[in-house]
Amino acid sequence: MATHPGYYTELVEQSLGTSTLATDEIERDLHRSLPEHPAFQSDTGISALRRVLTAYAYRNPKIGYCQAMNILTSVLLLYAKEEEAFWLLVAVCERMLPDYFNRRIIGALVDQAVFEDLIRENLPQLVEHMTDLSFFSSVSLSWFLTLFISVLPIESAVNVVDCFFYDGITAILQLGLAVLDYNMEALISCHDDAEAVTILNKFFDSVTNKDSPLPPTVQQASVGNNDKASHLNVDISELIREAYEKYGNLRSEEVESSRKRNKLYVIQTLEDTTKQNVIRVVSQEVRFSASHLDELYNLFKRQHFLSCYWTMQSPALLHHDPSLAYLEQYQLGFQQFTVLFSLLEPWAFCTTKSTLSLWVFRLIDENQDGLVNFKEFCCALDTLYSGSFTNKLKFLFKLHLPPAFTGSPLHLKEQRIQHFVPVTEDSSHLSRLTAFDLPEDGVIRKSPERGRGKVDLQAYLKQWQNEILKKEETIKDLPRINQTELIQFSKTLYNIFHGDPEEEALCRAVAHVTSLLLRMEEVGRRLQEPSSPLES
């Protein structure tokens, strides 16, 4: 704070009045932040909380806003000035709890895995009774994300926050072990997870703080006498002291080492889950088998990462955001799409494969953002390989209509980029690519959900409605084609038939049909000219 005087004030002024997905989520959660505390029952506390959260979302758009940040910030505002609370939030989100506050909460999941390892090491009796430790992972998520603030009475939770700022995540892990150890006998006698959750909730409600200047919380006061009788009150200072005495041998170096061991496993698990979700969604749209989709997904993902690692500037890398929906996680720009599509397309002997790849890319890029996701890619391949003759013909027909075909020579705006691809048998074709092609107007558009400015909710809802109400298209629904597009369509058919055993007969048929269509078009045009005499 001392090295950045006035920084917070500038952020507040710059973020004032902005409307983003993060600010919408902040507004939704403002009145859920310690609603039982008097400080947040008036506009003064709510406004301060709004300014801190909005300023941080503006400072760090990669994180923006994540649930649990409001709870932590509320406690910080109780004991610190507004600007101090902002810098404490910066320290927590960016240094003390890295990767905690994002859509995938990887940091919290990693620490859950660390916590499971510690349970196996320090509480073997509990492990023998509850062999499936996933229960502790699910129940402890809020412990890590909110530093026990969401489960403990506020006057007790502030002591935990003090320990966290002094000892970091190690203090939270020690306290978690102490809580389980304190309730060991009750947990061992449980018959199901619901009973275990009830025991832990009653325990947390019974934790008091005799030294706190704060009044008892509404949450604690609302606990019935029967519930209190089942749990003797536990002072938070005694619980923390017990945690440090029993598990004080836990060092931050050991925690970091365990984090490194578990991080790869957590990320791989998330990737596998994402893959399963993507394949499940896409399988409803295509006729490929699950095994084929699995192979296609691996190829698509590999091509995405090749473009990220081996190019100095990649549109997929520039727009990559792990917080996006799983269908948007991996996307290909035109250059990467061409490489993969050329290996999988059915036109093996076509002499204009690169041009066709461009037209296919433009056609399936429905939101015109210069990127193609896995679903769009698979739907195109499904039409070419598994579609009916009519659907294949419609697909080729659309390739010669805007936005795929512009009717002008192929002169694309290019941004030269340099590749550092090791030339091997599998990847030598990548080294020959030297340009990234932009759409015709040179602008990469963003879909409504990707913008960092104001979210166009109407456009987003319209896009969603079009997907829901998409009906089966017939030949009659296709627009008319002009002479230039028809001639190019015929040329494309000539190129596609190259190398076919029936090439000569097919080419003669195409020439005959094209000639008839052009003559019919000429006659129709003359008939529509009032000044021209009718020809028999």
Q: Classify residue 119: in a domain, yes or no.
A: yes
Place of tokens 């193609």: 372
Q: Chain-wide mean pLDDT for the chain?
A: 80
Give the residue from 166, 170, 161, 147 showing the smallest Cα distance to 212. Answer: 161
Considering only CA atoms, give the Rg of the chain. Answer: 31
Q: Classify residue 291: in a domain, yes or no.
A: yes
Q: Are residues 84 and 168 in the same domain?
A: no
Q: Classify residue 30: in a domain, yes or no.
A: yes
Domain boundary at 48, 78, 96, which?
96
Q: Are residues 195 and 234 in the same domain?
A: yes
Quote the pLDDT of residue 205.
93
Quote the pLDDT of residue 438.
38
Q: Are residues 207 and 290 in the same domain?
A: no
In the predicted structure, residue 201 carries a pLDDT above the cut 70: yes
What is the SS3 assignment for 126?
helix
Q: Classify residue 498: in a domain, yes or no.
A: yes
Structural domain of residue 115, as residue ranges? 106-254
**Beta-bridge partners for 435:** 416
Quote the pLDDT of residue 128.
85
Q: Are residues 22 and 111 in the same domain?
A: no
Q: Are residues 153 and 247 in the same domain?
A: yes
d(CA 150, CA 68): 9
CA distances from 113 to 97, 266, 367 (A): 15, 8, 39
Q: Classify residue 356: in a domain, yes or no.
A: yes
Domain boundary at 65, 96, 127, which?
96
Based on the structure, what is the number of domains in the chain?
4
Contact status, residue 42 vs residue 54, Cβ threshold 8 Å: no
Tens of pLDDT, residue by residue over 269-312, are 988 988 999 999 999 999 999 999 999 999 999 988 887 765 55
d(CA 138, CA 118): 16
Q: Classify residue 63: in a domain, yes or no.
A: yes
Q: Are residues 354 and 391 in the same domain?
A: yes
d(CA 401, CA 7): 52
Q: Are residues 149 and 197 in the same domain?
A: yes
Quote the pLDDT of residue 112.
92
* Apex 70 CA angle, 68 and 75, nearest 5: 105
Q: Classify residue 277: in a domain, yes or no.
A: no
Q: Is the dihedral of CA 443, 449, 450, 452 positive or negative?
A: positive
Tens of pLDDT, residue by residue over 487-527, are 888 888 888 887 778 888 888 888 888 888 888 888 888 88
Q: Are residues 243 and 340 in the same domain?
A: no
Quote the pLDDT of residue 32.
87
Give the residue from 216, 203, 82, 98 showing the smallest Cα distance to 148. Answer: 203
Amino acid at 153: P
Tens of pLDDT, residue by residue over 420-434, are 333 333 433 333 333
| Cβ within 8 Å of residue 452, ≥6 positions away | 20, 61
Structure tokens at 208: 């008091």
Q: What is the CATH number of the domain that holds 467?
A: 1.10.238
Domain boundary at 74, 96, 118, which?
96
**Beta-bridge partners for 372:** 332
Q: What is the CATH number of the domain that holds 49?
A: 1.10.8.270
Place of tokens 């028999």: 536
Q: Are residues 84 and 118 in the same domain?
A: no
**What percent of the chain is modeled with pLDDT above 90?**
41
Lowest mean pLDDT among 5-14, 97-106, 138-147, 161-170: 97-106
Q: Are residues 326 and 459 in the same domain?
A: yes
Query: Where are the alpha helices (H) located in 92-235, listed in sequence order?
Result: 106-122, 124-129, 134-146, 154-167, 169-182, 184-188, 193-205, 218-221, 225-230
Q: What is the CATH number of the domain that holds 192?
A: 1.10.472
Q: Classify residue 261: in a domain, yes or no.
A: no
In the predicted structure, residue 455 carries a pLDDT above the cut 50: no
Q: Are residues 407 and 426 in the same domain?
A: yes
CA distances from 97 to 25, 162, 174, 498 (A): 21, 15, 16, 60
Q: Are residues 77 and 111 in the same domain?
A: no
